[in-house]
């Protein structure tokens, strides 16, 4: 009875509830649901199915009781027939057959291995496996070598392969801060009015991450930073060596996991909007603790007036972002993205607290009728 009441009060969007980064009462089942999601992402089966498992997993994460029956699971939001079936099987057998099978399949292991290469996503991975019959990293190496001789520019993937082990290794908070301080220094050297923030997983309080995400903005001028990213990178070049320089669009089509911008229900950002950002997605060689290690770094510069929306958008988690956009679209008839909040149909920008004032993160949540969630509580 107590459980039923608790379950019925869980809001269905993760942006409406607190999710901290810690293990849950149904950890094993939670992990299996994530595997079902991963499989559907890697195999490019219908993304709706992947999302269904992802949503159910996020609900499991905030449910404090160990599930004891399918009926109990049916009280939870986001648990449709497929998810309930998986719960039933798990309760009966202690596992999920589909997970066991694909974990052992060569195809799945290869797709996972290939997607671990920076610059490679499911599209490329499936192509390599199915069409070119690649099976190992050595196969990939030979394949790329052949391509290169044919004159294809493949810098990103080649570096991704060359530094595979470095890039698989997690970055500690300490190392992230070390890099962040040097980037911040470069910002200030270019223009003392340029500020930057450490965003992504590290802003959510995570102790380790797979890359370093930095958001920058000018304190005073609205558009004062345009063209400044190149200057910043040049200053950073005194400390780091770059392995690849690329722009947003070149990687978005084949990023490892779904991103807010590619979610159909969130209506993707149009080209004219993306003009107000400058973005660097790259690899650097970081001299740290007596060795040099390759690291992924994302730097985004945003307009001052759009800063708070970019801050929210780059704090994540990516599932939180996706649900936030879905919530705005479905429940509020609004469109939320890293540039602002817009009326869904007229596309008119909504100014919070008057045109002259810049809103705070709290005010954005309040406007959207969401409970205030600190970054550490957005770990869905």
Q: Which residues bind Mn ion (CB under 5 A)?
A: 191, 193, 200-201, 209, 211, 213, 298
DSSP 307-370: HHHHHHHHH--HHHHHHHHHHHHHHHSEEEETTEEEETTT-PBPPTT-SSSPPPHHHHHHHTT-
* CA atoms of 238 and 177, how far apart (whole Å): 18
Q: Which is nearer to ligand TTP, 225 or 378 (CB)?
A: 378
Chosen from ligand TTP, Mn ion, none, partner binding at 306 (C-beta under 5 to 8 Å by type)? none
| Cβ atoms of 280 and 233 closer than 8 Å | yes
DSSP label of 205: T
| Cβ atoms of 115 and 210 closer than 8 Å | no
Chosen from ligand TTP, Mn ion, none, partner binding at 193 (C-beta under 5 to 8 Å by type)? Mn ion
Chosen from Mn ion, ligand TTP, none, partner binding at 314 (C-beta under 5 to 8 Å by type)? ligand TTP
- Span 202-221, contacts to ligand TTP by CB under 6 A: 206, 209-211, 213
For the window 236-265, what string marks contact with ligand TTP as x by the rule CB under 6 A? -----------------------xxx----
- Paired strand residues for 378: 19
Among 314, 327, 336, 342, binds ligand TTP (CB under 6 A): 314
| CA dist list (Å): 209 to 64, 283, 325 | 26, 15, 24
Q: Which is nearer to Mn ion, 195 or 363 (CB)?
A: 195
Q: How much of the chain is in helix, strand and coil states, percent to nearest 5?
A: 50, 15, 35
Question: Shortest Cβ distance from residue 178 to Mn ion (Å)?
Answer: 16
Tokens of 291: 């060795």
Question: Shortest Cβ distance from residue 170 to ligand TTP (Å)?
Answer: 8
Scored b (16 or more CB within 10 A) or e, 251-280 reads bbebbbebebbebeebeebeeebbebbbbb
Which range of residues in 126-134, 158-166, 267-275, 314-322 is near ligand TTP by CB under 6 A? 314-322
Q: Does 316 bind ligand TTP (CB under 6 A)?
A: yes
Q: Does 162 bind ligand TTP (CB under 6 A)?
A: no
Among 124, 276, 302, 317, binds ligand TTP (CB under 6 A): 317
Site residues for ligand TTP per CB under 6 A: 200-201, 206, 209-211, 213, 259-261, 313-314, 316-318, 321
């Amino acid at each position: 009875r107590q459980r039923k009441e608790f379950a019925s009060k869980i809001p269905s969007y993760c942006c409406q509830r607190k999710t901290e980064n810690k293990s849950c009462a149904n950890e094993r089942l939670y992990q299996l649901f994530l595997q079902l999601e991963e499989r559907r992402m890697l195999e490019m089966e219908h993304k709706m199915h992947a999302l269904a498992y992802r949503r159910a997993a996020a609900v499991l994460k905030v449910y404090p009781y160990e599930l004891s029956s399918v009926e109990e699971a049916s009280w939870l939001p986001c648990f449709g027939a497929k998810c309930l079936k998986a719960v039933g099987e798990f309760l009966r057998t202690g596992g999920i057959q589909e997970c066991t099978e694909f974990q052992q399949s060569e195809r799945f292991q290869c797709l996972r291995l290939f997607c671990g290469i920076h610059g490679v996503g499911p599209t490329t991975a499936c192509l390599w496996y199915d069409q070119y019959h690649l099976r190992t990293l050595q196969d990939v190496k030979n394949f790329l070598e052949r391509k290169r001789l044919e004159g294809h520019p493949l810098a990103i993937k080649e570096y991704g392969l060359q530094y595979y082990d470095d890039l698989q290794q997690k970055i500690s908070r300490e190392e992230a801060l070390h890099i962040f301080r040097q980037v911040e220094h470069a910002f200030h050297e270019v223009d003392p009015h340029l500020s930057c923030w450490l965003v992504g997983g590290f802003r959510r309080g995570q102790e380790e991450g797979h890359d370093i995400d930095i958001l920058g903005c000018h304190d005073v001028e609205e558009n004062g930073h345009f063209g400044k990213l190149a200057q910043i990178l040049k200053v950073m070049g005194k400390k780091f060596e770059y392995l690849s320089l690329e722009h947003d669009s070149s990687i978005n089509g084949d990023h490892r996991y779904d991103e807010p911008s590619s979610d159909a229900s969130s209506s993707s950002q149009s080209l004219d909007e993306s003009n107000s950002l400058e973005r660097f997605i790259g690899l650097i060689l970081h001299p740290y603790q007596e060795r040099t290690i390759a690291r992924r770094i994302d730097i985004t510069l945003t307009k001052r007036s759009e800063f708070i929306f970019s801050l929210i958008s780059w704090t994540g988690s990516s599932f939180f972002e996706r649900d936030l956009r879905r919530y705005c679209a479905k429940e509020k008839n609004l469109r939320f993205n890293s540039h602002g909040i817009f009326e869904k149909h007229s596309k008119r920008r909504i100014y919070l607290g008057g045109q002259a004032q810049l809103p705070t993160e709290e005010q954005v949540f309040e406007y959207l009728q969401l409970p205030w969630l600190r970054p550490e509580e957005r770990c869905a």
